[in-house]
């Protein structure tokens, strides 16, 4: 019998917890082998087809359902929840090819690829009435990013040309940065998860993967011999020319945009061993629960948020996101959006308006 309840995904929550139990066990055993000790095998909990008799089984149906919901809502966030975006097979797993074929970057250097004024427009292009749970999870992800009061993700109107079209698909995917016109972002209804939606929205804002930054080899080890060829693009390191000037902050092991220490047969050749681990001996890598403090700091830096809050910023200039013909000037800790003289672009490198060929603000010649 098919139910139309929004709580149909509750069993999947239990599945992810079981996966996490097995995942932690495998990782501990692998670490012991690396240290030269014998692993202590711990049997997994035995599966049973028999429903145990308990006070819960005697509860009326509605009361039991409400109890289960309350328990799930009260449970702490699991930072190791399966990163569903890692299972896609585009550029770097979940990144769709650029319309303009511009090389992917950790954070888009091309200012035209940022959303003007930090205002990303989106549409929910699927049947929201039949997929209310999916809609609610997407809006929750949108609210989480908007809560930082830096960028604004808002619904596009019928007259807006540039926007993100959020659709249902067989995988999680997004273009990187503003593409021009409608650009797709896909999520999977059956496995919808707020953190994975946030991850894709960050791609749409212009952010790449933390584990692919040019200096990543100083912090993590990647065992390419244990990665299927189809999954190797997910670990393609960016060049030193890719990131925005002075954008690189401290390496963030737990970034929303970092790979997790996955054990999946679509990525790992040998699922008893990891494909990526930390050089400092730490255990945790990546998560799909929240923006970390460094994620938030990077977002503010790229989109010039709060650049004028300190007196030291007075009389300094900053780029205006998404429009090379404008810049931000600080006066008395207040930001003012100014226009460059006609035909000139603001140069992030030179901190002044210059001819487009010198300003290097965008790779496009028609803006």
* 50 pLDDT higher than 70: no
Q: In the sheet that 163-168 helps form, which strands lie side by side, from edge to edge?
A: 152-155, 119-124, 163-168, 182-187, 173-174
Q: pLDDT tens across 304-359, in order? A: 999 999 888 988 899 999 999 999 999 999 999 999 999 999 998 898 999 999 99
Closest to 164 measured CA to CA, from 120, 208, 129: 120
As annotated, the binding site for Zn(2+) includes 199, 203, 209
- Ordered domains of the chain (ranges, CATH): 1-40+58-75 (no CATH), 81-303 (3.40.390.10), 306-359 (2.170.140.10)
Most confident of 23-37, 86-100, 213-227: 213-227
Whole-prediction pTM: 0.74
The answer to whether the beta carbons of residues 96 and 175 sit under 8 Å apart is: yes
Q: How far apart (Å, rounded) are the C-alpha atoms in residues 127 and 155?
A: 16
Q: Which two tokens stand for residue 126?
A: 């699927």
- In percent, the amount of the chain with pLDDT more than 90 equals 53
Q: Which two tokens stand for residue 42?
A: 């711990």
Pairing of strands 326-331, 317-319: antiparallel
Q: Which two tokens stand for residue 16?
A: 């992810």
* 18 pLDDT higher than 50: no
Question: Is residue 366 classed exposed, middle or buried when 0-12, 13-18 and 19+ CB atoms within 10 A define those classes?
Answer: exposed
User: How much is the pLDDT for 186?
Assistant: 95
What is the rounded average pLDDT of the residues 232-248? 70
Q: What ranges in 241-342 are assigned the alpha helix state H?
A: 293-302
User: How much is the pLDDT for 47?
Assistant: 38
As annotated, the binding site includes 199, 203, 209
What is the rounded average pLDDT of the residues 181-186? 94
User: How much is the pLDDT for 106?
Assistant: 58
Residues 6+ apart with CB under 8 A from 307: 313, 316, 318, 328, 330, 335
Checking 252-255 for CB contacts under 8 A at 24+ apart, the result is 252/210, 252/292, 252/294, 252/295, 253/219, 253/220, 253/278, 253/282, 253/284, 253/285, 253/286, 254/79, 254/284, 254/285, 254/286, 254/287, 254/292, 255/210, 255/286, 255/292, 255/294, 255/295
Q: Which two tokens stand for residue 123?
A: 């549409």
Q: How far apart (Å, rounded) are the C-alpha atoms in residues 10 and 17?
A: 11
User: How much is the pLDDT for 112?
Assistant: 87
Q: pLDDT tens across 278-313, in order? A: 999 999 999 999 999 999 999 999 999 999 998 889
Q: Which two tokens stand for residue 111?
A: 């200012």
The answer to whether the beta carbons of residues 303 and 150 sit under 8 Å apart is: yes
Q: Which two tokens stand for residue 282?
A: 């730490």
Instruction: Give me the residues paired with residue 354 across strands.
Output: 345
* 45 pLDDT higher than 50: no
Q: Which two tokens stand for residue 200?
A: 């894709």
User: How much is the pLDDT for 110?
Assistant: 83
The answer to whether the beta carbons of residues 202 and 104 sit under 8 Å apart is: no
Q: How far apart (Å, rounded) are the C-alpha atoms in residues 223 and 272?
A: 13
Please give the angle made by the CA atoms of 268, 274 and 277, to the nearest 5 degrees: 135
Q: How far apart (Å, rounded) are the C-alpha atoms in residues 88 and 352?
A: 41
Catalytic residues: 200
User: How much is the pLDDT for 246?
Assistant: 46
Element (H, E) at 179: none
Pairing of strands 317-319, 276-278: unpaired
What is the rounded average pLDDT of the residues 28-41? 47
């Amino acid at each position: 019998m098919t139910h139309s309840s929004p709580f149909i995904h509750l069993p999947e929550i239990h599945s992810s917890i079981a996966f996490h139990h097995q995942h932690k066990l495998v990782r501990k055993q692998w670490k012991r082998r690396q240290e030269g000790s014998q692993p202590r095998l711990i049997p997994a909990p035995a599966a049973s087809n028999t429903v145990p008799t308990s006070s819960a089984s005697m509860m009326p149906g509605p009361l039991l359902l409400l109890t289960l919901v309350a328990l799930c809502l009260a449970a702490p966030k699991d930072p190791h929840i399966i990163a569903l975006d890692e299972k896609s097979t585009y550029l770097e797993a979940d990144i769709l090819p650029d319309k303009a074929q511009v090389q992917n970057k950790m954070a888009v250097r091309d200012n035209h690829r940022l959303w003007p004024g930090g205002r990303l427009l989106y549409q929910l292009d699927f049947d929201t009435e039949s997929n209310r749970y999916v809609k609610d999870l997407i809006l929750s992800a949108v609210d989480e990013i908007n809560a930082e009061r830096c960028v604004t993700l808002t619904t596009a109107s019928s007259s807006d040309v540039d926007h993100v079209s959020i659709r249902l698909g067989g995988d999680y995917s997004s273009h990187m940065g503003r593409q021009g016109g409608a650009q797709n972002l896909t999520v999977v209804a059956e496995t919808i998860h707020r953190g994975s939606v946030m991850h894709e929205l960050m791609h749409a804002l212009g952010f790449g993967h933390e584990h692919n930054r040019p200096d990543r080899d100083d912090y993590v080890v990647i065992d390419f011999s244990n990665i299927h060829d189809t999954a190797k693009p997910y670990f393609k390191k960016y060049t030193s020319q890719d990131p925005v000037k002075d954008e690189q902050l401290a390496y963030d092991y737990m970034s929303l945009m970092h790979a997790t220490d996955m054990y999946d047969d679509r990525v790992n050749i040998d699922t008893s061993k990891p494909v990526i681990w930390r050089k400092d001996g730490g255990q945790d890598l990546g998560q799909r629960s929240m923006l970390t403090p460094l994620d938030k700091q990077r977002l503010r830096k790229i989109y010039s948020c709060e650049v004028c809050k300190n007196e030291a910023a007075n009389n300094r200039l900053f780029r205006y996101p998404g429009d090379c013909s404008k810049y931000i000037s600080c006066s008395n800790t207040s930001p003012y959006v100014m226009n460059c003289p006609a035909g000139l672009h603001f140069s992030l490198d030179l901190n002044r308006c210059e001819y487009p060929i010198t300003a290097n603000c965008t790779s496009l010649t028609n803006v």
